Amino acid sequence: MKKIGALLLSVAAAGTLAASEYKYSITPMFGGVEPLNKEFLDNGTSLGARVGYNLDESQTLELGYDFMDSIDYKALIPGRDTDSHQFSANYLYHFLEPENRIRPYLLAGVGVQDFTNNLAGLRDGLIGNLGLGLKIGLLDALDLRLEARDFIRYDDGGHTLAYTAGLAYSFGEVEKAAPAPAPVKAEAPQKIADSDNDGVADRDDKCPGTPKGVEVDLNGCPLDTDGDGVADYKDECRGTPDGVKVDAKGCPIDSDNDGVADFMDRCPNSKTTKVDEHGCALDSDRDGVADYLDKCPTTPEGFKVDSQGCAVGFTMHVNFATNSARIESKDTPYIDKLAAFMKEHPQTKVRLEGYTDSDGSAAYNLKLSAKRAEAVKKELIARGIAASRITTKAYGEENPIASNATPEGKAQNRRVEAVLIPTER
């Protein structure tokens, strides 16, 4: 340690040295080693090299190799010595900028040590490195390097002091960024004419005379966000879809004045203002006749109506089994619905028409269809409808509503339909 202290003191009075930045360095090292707590090892010499990579101006990663020659075993084993090979990886941190001539640094790392002659329990193994050093600038890319390190053996905790010196040669110069140019004093801007004060100079303004406070585009024209041809400050219906025709207020045109714009109107020539969201005349009872034409506006669903919206018929969906006139319980809701309608319209009469499929003879089917119509009549009478308001007619296998070539079609043809004689209007 005294040798290292004397060497460090000899480089006092540091100045500064203009230096470039480099990425890499290589350093041959020479010095000595002094075991601190192994009485059977004597001092020796050290020869090695370092290869470094600079992460930045302060930090360096370094790989090193040291050969320690002829370390003598002491009196414990007289006349014997050993060599040592050390391989290490270290991290260096420098405390001053590269421009400083003298730069102190700390190092830490790990490695392995291999002895050529293992005696007295001395074994090869892992080591740790702790140390400090100085780099003294000689030339732009050449530094004198002084270093002291403590090798700590993981195996037995032994310490060995190594003091070395070497010449560090740097290469791989890094180009520094050019200094920023001196700021140029800006000239005072010349005032440019803008008659309507919209922020666009008169020479560039394609819409001079824009009203005060109106937002304009780069050409000085009032903004038209939805592109409908009406400026935003006049547009009462902003956000009109592309391609939709608008009026002077920027609102979609409604040719029939039903409250639904033409581009959404599925019934563009509606003759009433009472329309649905599609612009079509309201049909509250959904019988196909608009309310403004419907003289019977509360016709129940499922009834056939005439042009005035009044019931003229009802498909009862009362279907029968083959060769049967028995009414199933699943079909009685249709009879209930017809009975309710006739009670609400006491002047209405009904003709029940019976049908069959094509199986069997025509004569037999005619009689069977009459029985089916009569069966429905009895159900209506049981629900309080006067017999005088009900007539029946048998059609047999005539007027099929589905093909008789399939079981499903035949089932639909085995039916009773109601023809209404509506209330006088």
Token pair, residue 345, equals 């319209």
CATH number for the domain spanning 57: value is: 2.40.160.20
DSSP 5-20: HHHHHTT-S--B----
DSSP helix/strand/coil, 4: helix
Q: What is the CA radius of gyration of the chain?
A: 55
**Rounded CA separation 130/152 (Å):** 8
Asked whether 332 and 362 are in contact (CB, 8 A), the reply is no
Among 174, 189, 212, residue at a domain's last position: 174
Q: Are 152 and 115 in contact (CB under 8 A)?
A: no
Q: Does residue 98 belong to any structural domain of this protein?
A: yes
54 assigned to some structural domain: yes
Residue 49 has pLDDT above 50, yes or no: yes
Average confidence (pLDDT) over 199-206:
82
**What distance in Å separates the CA atoms of residue 31 and residue 25, rounded to the nearest whole number?**
19
Q: How far apart are CA 363 and CA 360, in angstroms?
A: 8
Instruction: Tell whether 361 is covered by a domain.
Output: yes
Q: What is the pLDDT of residue 74?
A: 59
Secondary structure of 300-321 as H, E, C letters = CCCEEECCCCCEEEEEEEEECC
β-partners of residue 67 are 47, 85
124 neighbors 114 (Cβ within 8 angstroms):
yes
> Residue 82 and residue 33: Cα distance in Å, rounded?
13
What is the C-alpha separation between 235 and 231, in angstroms, rounded? 6
pLDDT band for 37, please (50, 70, 90 cuts): low
pLDDT at position 5 is 43
Instruction: With respect to residue 250, please indicate whether it lies within any of the assigned structural domains.
Output: no
Residue 344, both tokens: 């609400």
In a domain, 180, yes or no: no
Q: 110-130 pLDDT, tens per residue?
A: 999 887 777 666 678 898 989
pLDDT tens digits, 290-305:
777 777 776 777 677 7
Residue 211: count other Cβ atoms within 10 Å of its Cβ. 11
Token representation of residue 18 = 């203009």
Of 152, 174, 196, at which residue does a domain stop?
A: 174
* Residue that finishes a domain, picked among 155, 174, 193: 174
Q: Pick the more confident residue, 70 or 117.
A: 117
Residue 374 structure tokens: 């009569």
The residue among 211, 243, 238 whose CA lies nearest residue 225 is 238
Residues 121, 122, 128: CA angle, nearest 5 degrees: 135
If one counts the domains in the chain, the total is: 2
As to burial, measured by CB atoms within 10 angstroms (0-12 exposed, 13-18 middle, 19+ buried), residue 236 is exposed
Residue 29: phi and psi, rounded to 5, are -125, 150
Cα-Cα-Cα-Cα dihedral of 100, 102, 105, 110, to 10°? 110
Q: Is residue 309 part of a domain?
A: yes
Residues 10, 158, single domain; the answer is: yes
φ/ψ bin of 9: left (φ > 0), alpha (ψ from -120 to 50), beta (otherwise): alpha
Question: Which pLDDT score is estimated for 120?
Answer: 62
Q: Domain of 15?
A: 2-174
Rounded-to-integer distance, Cα 138 and Cα 14, Å: 12
Assign residue 353 the CATH number of its domain. 3.30.1330.60
**What pLDDT score does 12 carry?**
35
Token digits of residue 64: 């090193």
Q: What is the pLDDT of residue 273?
A: 63
pLDDT tens for residues 238-274? 888 888 888 888 888 877 777 777 777 777 776 666 7
- CA of residue 401 relative to chain centroid, distance: 55
User: What pLDDT score does 60 carry?
Assistant: 92
User: How far, in Å, are 181, 268, 307, 308, 381 from residue 311 at the CA level?
Assistant: 94, 28, 10, 9, 20
**pLDDT at residue number 396:** 94
Closest of 353, 348, 359, 424 to residue 388, by C-alpha: 348
Q: Which helix (H) or strand (E) holds 333?
A: helix 332-344
Q: With CA atoms as reference, report the closest residue to 272 among 263, 285, 259, 284.
A: 259
Cβ neighbors of 214 (< 8 A, separation 6 or more) are 198, 222, 223, 231, 233
The single-letter code of the amino acid at 11 is: V
Confidence of residue 178 (pLDDT cuts 50, 70, 90): low
pTM of the model: 0.39
